Structure 1
Amino acid sequence: MSKKRGEYLISVLIIDDKPPVFDIEEIVTDKKYPFSLKIITDIQEALNEIKNNNPDIVIINSRKNGLNVHDFLREIKKEVRPPPHIVLISGFKPEFIGECISHGLNIHLINEDNTDGELRKLKSFLSKYSEVYEERNSKSLRNAKYRSLIESMDDSIYMVDSDCRYLYMNKKHLMRLGRSSELYRGRRYQDFHTEPEYEKFSGIISSIFETGEIFREEYEDDKFRFRRIFTPVSNIEDDSVVAVNVVSVKTDPAEKEGINIDGEDKSVYVVDRECSYLSINRAHQERLGLKPEQIYSGKRYEEFHPEGKSESFAEIIKKVFSEGDYFLDEYCCGENHFSRRFCPVKDPETDRVIAVTVISSNITSRKISEKSLIESNKKLNLLNSITRHDILNNLTALQGYLEILMEDSPDEKDLKYFRIMKKASDSIQNQISFSKDYQDIGVEKPVWQDVDELIGKSSSLLSTEKIAVKSDLKGLRIFADRMVEKVFYNLIQNAVSYGDTISEINFTATEGSDELIIFCGDNGRGIPDEEKMKIFQRGYGKNTGLGLFLSKEILSITGITISESGIYGEGACFEIKIPRLVYSFK
Structure 2
Amino acid sequence: MEVQNAQHTILFECRKPISLLYVDDDPGLLEICKLFLEQSGQIHVDLLSSAQTALEKLKSCTYDAIISDYQMPGMDGITLLKTLRSQGNFIPFILFTGRGREEIVIEALNNGADFYLQKGGDPESQFAELEHKIKLVVEQRKIKTELVESRRRFTDLIDFLPDATFAIDLEGKVIAWNRAIEDLTGVVKESIVGTGNYSYALPFYGERHPILIDLMLCQNPEIERQYLHVKKKSNKIIADTHVRILNGKKDLTLWGIASPLYDTKDTIVGAIESIRDITDLKKAEEVLVESEQRYRNVVEDQTEFICRFLPDGTHVFVNEAYCRYFNREHNDIIGKRFAPRIPDEDLVLVRSHFASLTHEMPIAHIEHRILMHSGEIRWQRWSDRVIFNPDGRVVEYQSVGRDITEQKQLEESLRQTNKKLNLLNNITCHDILNQLTALLAYLELNGEKISDPEALDFLKKEIHAVNKIRTLIKFSRYYLDLGVNTPDWLNLRDVCMGAIPGREGITVTCLSGDLDIYVDPLLEKAFSTLFDNVISHGEHVTAITVSYRKDPEPGGVTITVEDNGAGIPDDEKEQIFKQGYGKHTGLGLFCLREILLITGITIRETGVWGEGARFEIRVPPGRFRDASSA
My pick for the range that moved more, 553-562 or 268-277, is: 268-277
CA RMSD of aligned residues (A): 3.3
For residues 445 and 454 of structure 2, what CA distance do their matches in structure 1 show?
16
The one-letter amino acid paired with 2:591 is: L
For residues 497 and 310 of structure 1, what CA distance do their matches in structure 2 show?
45
* 1:455 maps onto 2:492 in alignment: no
Q: Closer, same or farther in 2 for the Cα pair 1:290/1:323, shift >3 Å?
A: closer
Q: 2:530 aligns with which of 472, 482, 491?
A: 491
Q: Closer, same or farther in 2 for the Cα pair 1:264/1:389, shift >3 Å?
A: farther
* 1:300 maps onto 2:341 in alignment: no
The equivalent of 2:616 in structure 1 is 575
Q: Secondary structure at the residue paired with 2:480?
A: helix
The equivalent of 2:354 in structure 1 is 320
Q: Secondary structure at the residue paired with 1:552?
A: helix
For residues 343 and 337 of structure 2, what CA distance do their matches in structure 1 show?
13
The equivalent of 2:517 in structure 1 is 478
For normalisation by structure 2, the TM-score amounts to 0.47
The equivalent of 1:465 in structure 2 is 504
The equivalent of 1:202 in structure 2 is none
- What is the CA distance between 1:297 and its match in structure 2? 3.6
- What is the CA distance between 1:396 and its match in structure 2? 0.8
Q: Closer, same or farther in 2 for the Cα pair 1:378/1:549, shift >3 Å?
A: same
Any unmatched runs of 5+ in structure 1? 1-234, 241-246, 248-259
For residues 346 and 378 of structure 2, what CA distance do their matches in structure 1 show?
16
The equivalent of 1:337 in structure 2 is 378
Cα deviation code 1:535-571 (max 9, x no counterpart): 1111111222100111111111122221112222211
The equivalent of 1:278 in structure 2 is 316
Cα deviation code 1:20-78 (max 9, x no counterpart): xxxxxxxxxxxxxxxxxxxxxxxxxxxxxxxxxxxxxxxxxxxxxxxxxxxxxxxxxxx
Greater relative CO, 1 or 2 (CA 8 Å, sep 6+): 1
Matches within 5 A, 1:232-311: 264-292=302-330, 294=331, 296-301=333-338
| Percent sequence identity over aligned pairs | 34
For residues 344 and 611 of structure 2, what CA distance do their matches in structure 1 show?
55
Q: Closer, same or farther in 2 for the Cα pair 1:561/1:323, shift >3 Å?
A: closer
For residues 311 and 537 of structure 1, what CA distance do their matches in structure 2 show?
38
For residues 410 and 373 of structure 1, what CA distance do their matches in structure 2 show?
54
The one-letter amino acid paired with 1:328 is: I
The equivalent of 2:461 in structure 1 is 420
Q: Is the 1:519–1:576 contact (alpha carbons within 8 Å) kept by the matching residues of 2?
A: yes
Matches within 5 A, 1:68-467: 264-292=302-330, 294=331, 296-301=333-338, 316-317=350-351, 320-321=354-355, 324=358, 326=364, 328-332=366-370, 333=372, 334-335=375-376, 337-341=378-382, 343-460=384-501, 463-467=502-506
Any unmatched runs of 5+ in structure 2? 1-282, 289-294
- What is the CA distance between 1:405 and its match in structure 2? 2.9
Q: Closer, same or farther in 2 for the Cα pair 1:538/1:312, shift >3 Å?
A: closer
For residues 422 and 520 of structure 1, what CA distance do their matches in structure 2 show?
38
Q: Closer, same or farther in 2 for the Cα pair 1:529/1:237, shift >3 Å?
A: same
Q: Closer, same or farther in 2 for the Cα pair 1:350/1:426, shift >3 Å?
A: farther
Q: Is the 2:566–2:612 contact (alpha carbons within 8 Å) kept by the matching residues of 1?
A: yes
The equivalent of 2:575 in structure 1 is 534
- What is the CA distance between 1:466 and its match in structure 2? 0.9
- What is the CA distance between 1:389 and its match in structure 2? 1.5
Q: Closer, same or farther in 2 for the Cα pair 1:480/1:351, shift >3 Å?
A: farther
The equivalent of 1:566 in structure 2 is 607
Q: Is the 1:328–1:342 contact (alpha carbons within 8 Å) kept by the matching residues of 2?
A: yes
Q: Secondary structure at the residue paired with 2:475?
A: helix
For residues 590 and 348 of structure 2, what CA distance do their matches in structure 1 show?
42
The one-letter amino acid paired with 1:417 is: F
The equivalent of 1:62 in structure 2 is none
The equivalent of 1:22 in structure 2 is none
Q: Secondary structure at the residue paired with 1:502?
A: coil
For residues 509 and 578 of structure 2, what CA distance do their matches in structure 1 show?
28
For residues 436 and 348 of structure 2, what CA distance do their matches in structure 1 show?
58
For normalisation by structure 1, the TM-score amounts to 0.51
The equivalent of 2:541 in structure 1 is 502
The one-letter amino acid paired with 1:499 is: G
- What is the CA distance between 1:238 and its match in structure 2? 10
Q: Is the 1:527–1:571 contact (alpha carbons within 8 Å) kept by the matching residues of 2?
A: yes
Q: Secondary structure at the residue paired with 2:548?
A: strand
The one-letter amino acid paired with 1:506 is: T
Q: Is the 1:320–1:344 contact (alpha carbons within 8 Å) kept by the matching residues of 2?
A: no
For residues 519 and 236 of structure 1, what CA distance do their matches in structure 2 show?
52
Q: Secondary structure at the residue paired with 1:441?
A: coil
Q: Closer, same or farther in 2 for the Cα pair 1:443/1:470, shift >3 Å?
A: same
- What is the CA distance between 1:468 and its match in structure 2? 0.6
Whose Rg is larger? 2
The one-letter amino acid paired with 1:548 is: L
Cα deviation code 1:167-207 (max 9, x no counterpart): xxxxxxxxxxxxxxxxxxxxxxxxxxxxxxxxxxxxxxxxx
The one-letter amino acid paired with 2:337 is: R
The equivalent of 1:76 in structure 2 is none
For residues 276 and 239 of structure 1, what CA distance do their matches in structure 2 show?
29
The equivalent of 2:27 in structure 1 is none
Q: Closer, same or farther in 2 for the Cα pair 1:377/1:264, shift >3 Å?
A: farther
Q: Closer, same or farther in 2 for the Cα pair 1:381/1:573, shift >3 Å?
A: same
For residues 337 and 287 of structure 2, what CA distance do their matches in structure 1 show?
39
The equivalent of 1:164 in structure 2 is none
* 1:523 maps onto 2:546 in alignment: no
Matches within 5 A, 1:540-555: 540-555=581-596
Q: Is the 1:331–1:338 contact (alpha carbons within 8 Å) kept by the matching residues of 2?
A: yes
Q: Secondary structure at the residue paired with 2:580?
A: coil
Q: Secondary structure at the residue paired with 2:386?
A: strand
For residues 445 and 236 of structure 1, what CA distance do their matches in structure 2 show?
54
Q: Closer, same or farther in 2 for the Cα pair 1:528/1:517, shift >3 Å?
A: same
For residues 504 and 314 of structure 1, what CA distance do their matches in structure 2 show?
37
- What is the CA distance between 1:336 and its match in structure 2? 5.0
Cα deviation code 1:330-349 (max 9, x no counterpart): 21433452214362523153
The one-letter amino acid paired with 1:361 is: R
